[in-house]
Chains A and B, each alone.
Chain A
Amino acid sequence: METLSVSGLRKSYGDTAVLAGLTFSLRPGECYGLLGPNGAGKTTTLRCALGLTVPDAGDIRLAGLAVPAQAREARLRVGVVPQMDNLDPDFTVAENLLVYGRYFGLADHAIHARIPQLLEFAGLAGRAGAKIGALSGGMKRRLTLARALVNDPDLLFLDEPTTGLDPQARHLIWERLKQLLQQGKTVLLTTHFMDEAERLCHRLAIMDRGRFIAEGSPREVIAAHIEPEVIEVYGEPGESSAAEWAQAEAARYATRVEVTGETAFCYVTESRPLLRHLADRQGLRYLHRPANLEDVFLKLTGRDLRD
């Protein structure tokens, strides 16, 4: 089964290079994550892959077809969950699925036959006649996911699918995505939630300023780019300042230290010396945990705000 492969993808707007030469491909049945801060180029990559943005250079093949030349045909095999909900507010839940299925050239009876199972999958059974305005944010996301499945696609593109959802709603979306992966669908996911990527992605790429700065399985990326353990040290301004402690003493115990405000992130390969030291320090609290993808992300893309 052919999925998506991209090579040498470049796109600039004016003098700004949004994509600076991306090459990656999805293996059938995997979940591949694109991670990056706002403006890293994630959404532009998806738009190029769907043929909605024409790149300045590079080759794209989607579902075995050249994009953008045959993008429309290729989209027959793809389902898309966009970043912003764009369900049709004039329609009911079921009408949204019916109307969307027609865009794929599906006959009404074929769509009607699929609607009950799609609603069941989305946890919206019994809501077929509900208006969109009456749905919660989580329900709308699930309906958008069901809409993306109306054509039974091989490949799913999800652009920040859980942004703005509460934890219950996020977990339900993750559960459904795992089910889809078990069914053999291939998923391309953009997110800036590192726990989401760690949970779902078989492989991922961290993007910044239009290029990949790390790629591999979550474990590989963590192992390649960061110390295995982190001790976060918290203090208060004044006598028990974590920032002052970090400046004076942390380097003796940690391979690398990052300070933001009154929190010091100490990256270590051997945690015991630092833990012993902290046990004797009054006023400093700490949290000892394994390093995760968020640590890698912040190390590689920096802690500065991106707007």
Chain B
Amino acid sequence: MNHFRPPSLSLRFIPVWRRNFLVWRKLAIPSLLGNLADPMIYMLGLGYGLGSLLPDVGGVSYIAFLAAGAVCFSTMNAATFEALYSAFSRMQVQKTWDAILNAPVALDDLVLAELVWAASKATLSGAAILAVVAALGLVASPLALWALPVIFLAGLAFAALGLIMTALAPSYDFFMYYFTLAVTPMTLISGVFFPVGQLPAAFQAISAALPLSHAVQLARPLFLGEVPAQALLHVAVLAAYAVAAFWLALGLARRRLLK
């Protein structure tokens, strides 16, 4: 049977999602604090420290510029970590997937559950960061609440990309390549820390194809109280990444597990 046939999805992913949510709920406070600490350190360190040396960036203070970038960056990290390390543990180490597949849940439902769960977890931590950023007075208007669906969508895209790596990984060590060769370079050229306009033209072209820069281009105007330009394009690119990467990840997972 062709492993790369279209996904066959159903609501049966929900009990699997609930399993992951129940685990998270037991550790919710430390998990949220962990997810908060990283972006807050970046934001306060770079935002106030480096920001005090800088003139306005894109018409606003550097920390206000950085806020949306930091939220997208941490969304990416939260979704990626969940789809890599946590999903790999469940698939390979704890054999949780094996147990689930003996029940009336198809692998398609299971991988979908991992995808939606990783995006959900990213949204939970994204919401916490958004709350802190708002408390610091770094968002302009309630329009920033629209960042939450953006975070969820970006979470789907990064989780799907991460699941490709998980379906291929022989061990945890494999994930270092993904961070070093994909995640870190993407972070540096997607407009998280500085405007993409500062980059040479070739890098700008690469940046335009990356999911993180589309997430940033949606979130930053929302934080500054504006409706994003070309919002539909950015949404479509993120959705396309999510769908294509999920399809590929599922095909690879079928090849790996349904031998």
Q: Are B99 and A86 in contact (CB under 8 A)?
A: yes
Instruction: Out of B16, B18, B19, B95, name the residue touching A84 (CB < 8 Å).
Output: B95
A104 CA to B109 CA, complexed, in Å: 13
For A54, give its contact among B1, B99, B101 (CB under 8 Å): B1
Find out whether the CB atom of B105 lies under 8 angstroms from the CB atom of A90: no
Query: Is the C-beta of A53 less than 8 angstroms from some C-beta in chain B?
Result: yes
Contact partner of A91 (CB less than 8 A), chosen from B22, B101, B102, is B22
The answer to whether B104 touches A86, judged by C-beta atoms less than 8 angstroms apart, is no
- The docked-state distance in angstroms from the alpha carbon of A291 to that of B23 is 52
Inter-subunit contact A103/B22 (CB<8 Å): no
Chain A contact-residue range equals: 20 to 34
Interface string of A247-289 (1 = CB under 8 A from B): 0000000000000000000000000000000000000000000
- A-B contacts, CB under 8 A, total: 66
Contacts of A73 in B (CB 8 A): 104
B103 touches A75 (CB 8 A): yes
Which of A87, A89, A99, A104 has most B Cβ within 10 Å? A99
**Interface check A135, CB cutoff 8 A:** no
| With A54-B1, A95-B22 as contacts: A103 and B104 at CB distance below 8 Å | yes
CB <8 Å contact, A75 and B104: yes
Q: Is the CB of B16 within 8 A of A103?
A: yes
Q: B23 to A90, Cβ gap below 8 A? A: yes
Chain B: interface size category: 20 to 34
Q: Which residues of A contact B (CB under 8 A)?
A: 13, 50, 52-54, 68, 72-73, 75-76, 80, 82, 84, 86-91, 95, 99-100, 102-105, 147, 151
Q: List 25 A-B contacts (CB under 8 A).
A: A52-B101, A52-B258, A53-B259, A54-B1, A54-B258, A72-B104, A73-B104, A76-B104, A80-B102, A82-B95, A84-B95, A86-B96, A86-B99, A88-B23, A88-B96, A88-B99, A89-B94, A90-B23, A99-B18, A102-B15, A102-B19, A103-B15, A103-B104, A105-B12, A105-B15
The chain B residues found within 8 Å of chain A, CB to CB, are 1, 12, 15-16, 18-19, 22-23, 26, 94-96, 98-106, 257-259
